[in-house]
Amino acid sequence: MKVEAKLLLGLGLFFGLMCAVYWNWSLENAGGVMMFAGMLLGFLPGAYFYWWSRRMPVRPEDDPYATQAQGAGVVGSFPGTSIWPFVLGMGAFFVVLALVFGIWFLVPGLALVTWAALGGTAEGRRGGHV
Amino acid sequence: MTDVLQPPITIAGDDQPQGHDEHHGPTGILKWMTTTDHKIIGLSYTVTSVLMLVIGGLFAEIIRFQLTAPNNSLVSLAQYNELFTMHGSVMIYLFAGPFAFGGLANIIVPIQIGAPDMAFPRLNALSYWLYLTGAITMLAGFFTAGGAANFGWVAYAPLSNSINTPGTGADLWIGGLLLTGFSAIFTGVNLTATIFYLRAPGMTMFRMPIFTWNMLVTGILILLAFPVLTAGLVMLYCDRHFGTHIFSVSGGGVPVLWQHIFWFWGHPEVYILALPFFGMATEIIPVFSRKPVFGYKGMVFATLSIAALSLGVWAHHMFTTGVVLLPFFSIMSLLIAVPTGIKIFNWIGTMWRGQIWFSTAMLMAIGFVVTFLIGGLTGIYLASPPLDFFTHDTYFVVAHFHSVVMALVLGGMGGLYYWGPKITGYLLNERLGKIQFWFLFLGTQVFTFPQYLLGLRGMPRRVPIYPHDPEWKMLNEWSTVGAVMIGISTIVFVVNVGVSWKKHPAGDNPWDGHTLEWFTTSPPPHHNFYRLPQIRSERPTWDYHHPEHRSLGHGTHADEMHSLVGDGFEGHTS
Ligand code: HEM
Ligand SMILES: [Cu+2]
C-alpha cells in the first residue's frame, strides 16, 4: 500500500509543480486547467491509499517474505459467465447510433442499457459478495 | 452461475494434485458472448486488433500505390482524404492501443502477478464490446453516401465543423471514438485495480515484472488522458449539431482550443501506445540473453518519469500555431529523451555479455529497439522549434512517427512470438518467423528513409499528387517498395499462424522464462494457476527452476557482480 500511495502522490506533486510553472508562465487557461485536473488524479487516489496504508496491517503482497499460504482464503466471488456486459455494450452502441442516425435509436438503446443494469445488478446480488 | 475465486495451492513439491475443477459453461458463440475470463477477452481483443492492423494496412498500401507516380489517379482526391484519415484512425485508435492494453496486457498481466483474473471481469467484457462496436461504427462511414471521415485522424477545427465536413461519416467517426474511448478508460481502471489489489503474496511492487509495471503506468496515463478526449468529442459534437460555438471564431469560440484538448490526450496517448511495447521488449530481452534485466529500478523510474513528463509536452504538436509557449514545451520534450535513453542503455546493458539466443521474439525485440531509436532521435529534431518550423506537416513527420509506430509493430510481433505459445499452447514456426522479421524490419527502413529525405525536400503530407521531379519520384518509389515488403511480412505472419496451428506443443516453459506466466500450464487453466512458487525476487519462475542461480533481492549487496553479469549458465560469471 505504501508504494502505491507514494507513486500516486509523487505523480500528483510533479503534475502540480508543472501546472504552477506552466500556468504562471504561459497564462493559457485550457492547458492550466487540464494540468490541474491531472494533479488531482494523482492526489485523490494517492491520499486514499496513504490513508489506508497507515491503518492496515501489511498485506501479504506487500510483505517480501510472505508465503503463498498467507494468501489462502477467498479472494472474491464473481459471476463465472455473464451476458450483461454484451447487452450493455449493445445498448451503448445504439445510443451512439442515435447521435448519428436519429433520436429514435435511443429507444432500443436505453431499453438495452436499463435491462442490462437490472439484470447485472440482480446477477451480482445472487453471486453474494461481488 | 458464480465462481468463488480461491487462491492457488501453495507449492510444496511437484506432486501437488492438479484437480482444480475445470469450468463448465456455455460453448461456441455463446461462450464468446458471455465470457468474463480475461484470457478469452484478451484473445478476442488480439484477433480483432490484428484484423484492424490488416485493414489499416490495406488502406496504407492503396495510399502508397497512389503516391508511387507523380500525377497518379488510382484514387480520387476525396477518396484519398478518406483513406489517410481512416488509415491513421484505424491504426491509432483501433489497432495499436487495443492490441497492447486490451490484448496482450489483458492476458498476461494477471498471470504475471499471480492473480486469478482481472479485478472487474464483467467490466473487462464490457470494454471489449465497446471496442468492437466502436470499430464497427467508425468503419461504417465507408458505407454511407458521403463516405468516411476525411478530416485527418486529428479532426482539427474548423475543418471538422458541420459546414466544412457535413456527412454522416464524420459523426460515425466521433461516435466510434466515444465508444472505443470508454473501452480504453475501463481497461485502464481494470489494469490499475488489478495490479494494486490482486498480486500474489510476496509479489511486492518492486518485484513486479517490468511489463506489469509499464501496464500500470499505462493504465494511469489512460485515466489521465482519455476523459479529456471524450470531453473534447462531446464538445465537437455539440458544435456540429447543437449550435454551440466552442471551436468556431464566429460565435466567440477558439479553434485552437480543440488542438489543446486533442493533444493533451494525444501526446500521453503516444506513451500509452509505446509503454506496453517497451514492456514487451523488456520481458523478451532478458529471457533470451539469459540474464536478469539490467537496472530494474532504473527501468521503473524511467517509465515513471516518461509518464510524468508526457503530460507537459502536448503543444510540441502545435509549435507552428504561433500561440504556444515554445521554450516550455521544447524543454519538456527534450527532457523525455533522457529516460528514453536510459531505457535504450538498459536494454543494451541486458544483452551485454549475455548468452543471446536469436529466436524470432528476440530478433523482433532488437528490431524494436533499433527502429525506435531512429524514431526517437528524429523526434528530438522535431522538439526543437526552429527545426520543426521547417519540417512541420512534411513527410519528415510522417517518417518520424512511422519509425516509432513500426517499431511498435515489431515489438508487438515479438510479444506474439514470445507469449503466443503460452496463450495457445503451441509454438509458432521459427523459420517463417525469421523471414517475417527480415521483411518487416528491412521493409520499415526502406519505407521510412526515403520519406525523411522527401520531407527535407519539402514534400507535404496528406497530398495525393506532387510535381514531376525525378528525385521525388525515385524516393516515392522506394518508399512504396518498403510498404510492399511490410505487407509481405504481414502475409507471412498469417501463413505462419495457419501452418503452425496445433503443430508443436510448447510445454509450460519453452524459453526458460523468468516470470510467473511461465510457471503455469500453456494455455493456463481457468483462474490461471494450480499452484504458485514462493516469490522472493522479480524472477520467481527462474528461481524455482535454477535454485543454484537464484536472483538476489534488492538491497542485498553480497555478490552483486554475479547477478549483474549473468547467472543463467554455468561457469560464466566473470
Ligand atoms: C503497412 C505499414 C504502413 C504504411 C505503408 C503506412 C503508410 C502511411 C502513409 C503513406 C501515410 C501518409 C498519408 C498522407 O499524409 O498522405 C500514413 C499516415 C499515417 N499513418 Fe501510416 N502506414 C503504415 C503503418 C502505420 C501504423 C502501424 C500506424 C499506427 C499505429 C500508422 C499511423 C499513421 C497515422 C496516424 C498517419 C497520419 C494520418 C493523417 O495524416 O491523418 N501507420 N501512413
Ligand atoms: Cu507528442
Q: Has residue B19 been placed in a domain?
A: no
* pLDDT for position B164: 92
How confident is the prediction for chain B on average, in pLDDT?
91
* pLDDT for position B8: 62
* pLDDT for position B178: 97
Q: Has residue B246 been placed in a domain?
A: yes
Ligand 1: residues with CB < 6 A are: B 57, 60, 63-64, 84-85, 87-88, 91-92, 95-96, 152-153, 398, 402, 405, 409, 447, 461-462, 483, 486
The yes-or-no verdict on residue B563 having pLDDT over 70 is no
* pLDDT for position B204: 94
Nearest CA in chain B to A120: B122
Cα distance between the two ends of chain B: 57
Q: Has residue B4 been placed in a domain?
A: no
* pLDDT for position B371: 97
- The DSSP call for residue A70 is G
Ligand number, closest to the Cα atom of B225: 2
Q: Has residue B389 been placed in a domain?
A: yes
Contact A64 B314 (CB under 8 A): no
Cα–Cα distance measured from residue B398 to residue B375, given in angstroms and rounded to the nearest whole number:
10
* pLDDT for position A127: 59
* pLDDT for position A126: 72
Answer whether A82 touches B (CB < 8 Å).
yes
Q: What is the 3-state secondary structure (H, E, C) of B242-311?
A: CCCCCCCHHHCCCHHHHHHHHHHHHHHHHHHHHHHHHHHHHHHHHHHHCCCCCCHHHHHHHHHHHHHHHC
Condensed to tens digits (0 to 9), the pLDDT of residues B359-411 reads: 999 999 999 999 999 999 999 999 999 999 999 999 999 999 999 999 999 99
Of B523, B530, B524, B562, residue with least CA distance to B546: B562
Q: Which domain holds residue B492?
A: 29-568
Would you tell me the crossing angle of helices B326-351 and B296-310 to the nearest 10 degrees? Answer: 160
**Which residues of chain A have a CB within 8 Å of the CB of B6?**
74-75
CB atoms within 10 A of CB B502: 8
Grid coordinates representing B206 are 518492486
Look at the alpha carbons of B141, B142, B147, B148 in this order and tell me if their dihedral is positive or negative: positive
**Which residues of chain B have a CB within 8 Å of the CB of A82?**
34, 36, 122, 125
* pLDDT for position B416: 97
* pLDDT for position B280: 97
**CATH at B545:** 1.20.210.10
Q: Has residue B394 been placed in a domain?
A: yes
Mutation target vs A (from B9, B21, B122; most A CBs, 10 A cutoff):
B122
The yes-or-no verdict on residue A71 having pLDDT over 90 is no
Ligand number, closest to the Cα atom of B379: 2
Cα–Cα distance measured from residue B126 to residue B112, given in angstroms and rounded to the nearest whole number:
23
* pLDDT for position B20: 44
* pLDDT for position B553: 53
Please give the backbone phi and psi of residue B136, each rounded to the nearest 5 degrees, phi first: -60, -45
With cut-offs at 50, 70 and 90, classify the pLDDT of residue B480. very high
Cα–Cα distance measured from residue B348 to residue B292, given in angstroms and rounded to the nearest whole number:
12
- Contact at 8 Å (CB) between B36 and B433? no
Report whether the peptide linkage leading into residue B121 is cis, meaning its omega lies within 30 degrees of zero.
Answer: no
The yes-or-no verdict on residue A73 having pLDDT over 80 is no
* pLDDT for position B556: 47
Answer whether B532 touches A (CB < 8 Å).
yes
CA neighbours within 13 Å on the CB side: how many for A36?
9
Ligand 1 atom, smallest distance to B273 CA: 30
How close A63 comes to chain B (CA, Å)?
Answer: 6
* pLDDT for position B514: 94
Q: Has residue B7 been placed in a domain?
A: no
Q: Has residue B131 been placed in a domain?
A: yes
**Which residues of chain B have a CB within 8 Å of the CB of A8?**
220
Please give the backbone phi and psi of residue A122, each rounded to the nearest 5 degrees, phi first: -60, -45
User: What average pLDDT does range B508-531 have in this prediction?
Assistant: 92
**Sequence-distant (≥ 6) Cβ neighbours of residue A57 within 8 angstroms:** none
Residue with cell 536472483: B551
Condensed to tens digits (0 to 9), the pLDDT of residues B284-322 reads: 999 999 999 999 999 999 999 999 999 999 999 999 999
Report CA-CA distances (Å) from B520 to B109, B212, B529. Answer: 14, 17, 6
List all residues of chain B from 457 to 516 with a beta carbon under 8 Å from chain A.
none
The yes-or-no verdict on residue A129 having pLDDT over 80 is no
Buried b (16+ CB within 10 A) or exposed e, B253-273: bbbbbbbbbbbbbbbbbbbbb
Residue type, B79: Q
The ipTM (two decimal places) reads 0.94
* pLDDT for position B28: 82
With cut-offs at 50, 70 and 90, classify the pLDDT of residue B50. very high
Of B368, B374, B317, residue with least CA distance to B347: B368
Q: Has residue B242 been placed in a domain?
A: yes
User: What average pLDDT does range B523-542 have in this prediction?
Assistant: 90
Residue type, A50: Y
How close A96 comes to chain B (CA, Å)?
Answer: 6
Which of A123-127, B246-250, B448-452, B515-519 shows the lowest mean pLDDT across its residues? A123-127
The yes-or-no verdict on residue B79 having pLDDT over 80 is yes
Classify strands B531-532 and B9-10 as parallel, antiparallel or unpaired. parallel
- State percent of chain B over pLDDT 90: 84
User: What average pLDDT does range B328-356 have in this prediction?
Assistant: 94
Contact A75 B7 (CB under 8 A): yes
The yes-or-no verdict on residue B96 having pLDDT over 80 is yes
How close B314 comes to chain A (CA, Å)?
Answer: 9
User: What average pLDDT does range B203-209 have in this prediction?
Assistant: 95
Condensed to tens digits (0 to 9), the pLDDT of residues A97-112 reads: 999 999 999 999 999 9
Nearest CA in chain B to A15: B308
Cα–Cα distance measured from residue B346 to residue B338, given in angstroms and rounded to the nearest whole number:
12
Q: Give the DSSP letter string of B1-54.
A: -EEEEPPPEEPSSTT----PPPP----HHHHHHHB--HHHHHHHHHHHHHHHHH
